[in-house]
Chains A and B, each alone.
Chain A
């Protein structure tokens, strides 16, 4: 009973529209590839091979996705209370920078070192996000504007610190790496031993995976996602945040301190984005911040991830994996098929665009349903009532909730789109 209901309503759900959007992205990319003279089938084949073709590719996709999932989570969290955290990029930079500075200066055993680095990175990100929250909550300055400006400040501040003599590693473009006790990579020491080499020869599958920077990051990202879901949906605080997000005035009338909530939300969102920076510094080579000439786009990709996920924390994991896969696999698109890797950006843009048109899919579904209903009425079939008014009470209820959801989402989606174009 439940199963049939699930399938009947599946194509009315946001997730269906998202799948359509992702497929559209692939189709548009295929058309562009074909018109540029590349075989779309082999090109997309190369893309998928680059994502899943070898155990280490899958491992690299997960590694690449980890920070994007966490920044996506940061954006999604702030978004739940109606805040558009475009400043995630800056918070990421500050988190990574603080993690690197502390990880380099402090040389303690891993059990102290790692928590210390995490604390530093999260605190830096949280404070940086808190600035946005404070300006928004206290003085009602738009968080998009302050966010963008603070991103640039973070970029140049980071470059300044990277080039300070005590931190800059000579003849490189980066800082000194953090001390090895701060690595969250797994088996770093063991990997280079001879015992490991023979083990890898006997177990090529594991050996292949071990060639990558396997680290704890993804597990931490999943744990954070569960934690954030719990905060949002199972605690009073989360209820307040969501209430403010749905209807600020109503929430204020109900006695929720909106200003305080804005600041707290931005502190948490900033801390999350900072955590993404920590995961990158502790987890992957070169374990250091490099001089940046442009944004690395971890925060901005987080926006897209949160958007594709429809603001759902769990969805961020899936959208993050998709994103990481496209970014990583895209490099083999060019290596193997010769097609420019920019096609990946077109694909991502198309997906985001079609996710923005989510309402359209609903409309099309409505129209198809109506036409079907009309047809079945014409033919005088007995089950005409099934698709029209709905036979079961639960069925009706389900339709109502999805509709209200869409209504609520549409103004939010507009905000997201305008933000993206900045």
Chain B
């Protein structure tokens, strides 16, 4: 019985304490300042990838326009919806969900809050609600360039690809890259073997490292990854083996300056900034999917690549022009890739 009383006392104390503290309340809606809130995926804000890029884009946007930007970090997928809901509490002008895993949560929250605007990175809906904007990247274009560079630079005529999880987005990287390698192989008149494997995770760096180690020991000398945070394992492996890795999403050469050949950039920050700007300018961006590619400078490769032969870089830039002009149609799906490979074979 006494235990009960003591327990009741604890609960009462906490509740009372909370009442005294409710004085410091949430920032209320302020119409004069444009505000944006983003919710990260479970990779966290410092994932060296999407979440981090998006946040950098928002910070830059805030610096340039004086807008108010905030983020909420998710720990697990079941947090997404509650965090989005929390984001709506301060009535921001735009709420971002970072990554395609937000597809369902964004739909749910957008339906519950028809008076607010939402945007999602890396997802295209078949039927986009009027208050949601999908933002996608033609990552196959930068991956094609990465594949082309790998194909032109390889000494062993064996290259590797380490993917994250099977999805339409991941396919863009894989088949874009494979197609780029095939294009280079045709240009050089040799046969280049590509080893493809998925980590089945975006965070398991140890597993990604093991996969890359295996590829290097089987003779590959360049491995490209699109495995988010897990991809750091691939770069570590390249460092340990004295071979090359191709980074993804951001210029990852700082992780291993001597072992990163180049990176297939996905400038999420550029896209996030552009979309925020459009929203701020009062454009109606809802109900559609915006696609960003080489022509918007939203994907590409870094200008500084100290491990790359300058000649290869020049050629890669020519390829870039060909992609922008439409001369090269980069495949983004398995079907398109098979058709593309067949057309090269002729």
> Which A residues are closer than 8 A to B by beta carbons?
6, 9-10, 13, 15-16, 19, 42, 44-46, 48-49, 51-54, 56, 60, 159, 163, 170-174, 192, 211-213, 280, 284-286, 290-291, 293-294, 296, 312, 314-315, 318, 322, 327-328, 331-332, 334-336, 341
Contacts and interface: CB of A to CB of B under 8 A. Distances in A.
Interface stretch (B1-9, B141-149, B323-331): B1-9
> Interface SS of chain B: helix, strand, loop or mixed?
helix
B342 interface: no
A297 B112 CA distance: 30
6 contacts: A51-B18, A171-B103, A312-B3, A318-B10, A331-B79, A332-B86
Contacts of B165: 163, 173, 291
B10 A48 contact: no
B15 A314 contact: no
A46 B200 contact: no
Nearest to A325: B14
B168 interface: yes
Nearest to B85: A211
Q: Closest 4 A-B residue pairs measured CB to CB?
A: A293-B203, A45-B24, A52-B18, A290-B77
Contact of B81 (A52, A285, A327): A285
Nearest to B42: A293
A335 B79 CA distance: 14
Interface of B: 2-7, 10-11, 14-15, 17-19, 21-27, 37, 42, 70-73, 75-79, 81-83, 85-87, 89, 100-101, 103-105, 108, 111-112, 123, 165-169, 200-204, 230
B119 to A, nearest CB: 18
Contact of A293 (B17, B167, B168, B204): B204
A333 B82 CA distance: 15
Given A280-B78, A286-B78, A331-B73, A49 B108 contact: no
A160 to B, nearest CB: 9
Contacts of B78: 280, 284-286, 290
A402 to B, nearest CB: 11
Nearest to A310: B3
A211 B113 CA distance: 10
A335 B17 CA distance: 21
B73 A291 contact: no
Contacts of A327: 75
B72 A13 contact: no
Contact of A285 (B76, B105, B203): B105
Contacts of A314: 3-4, 7
Given A284-B78, A318-B11, A293 B3 contact: no
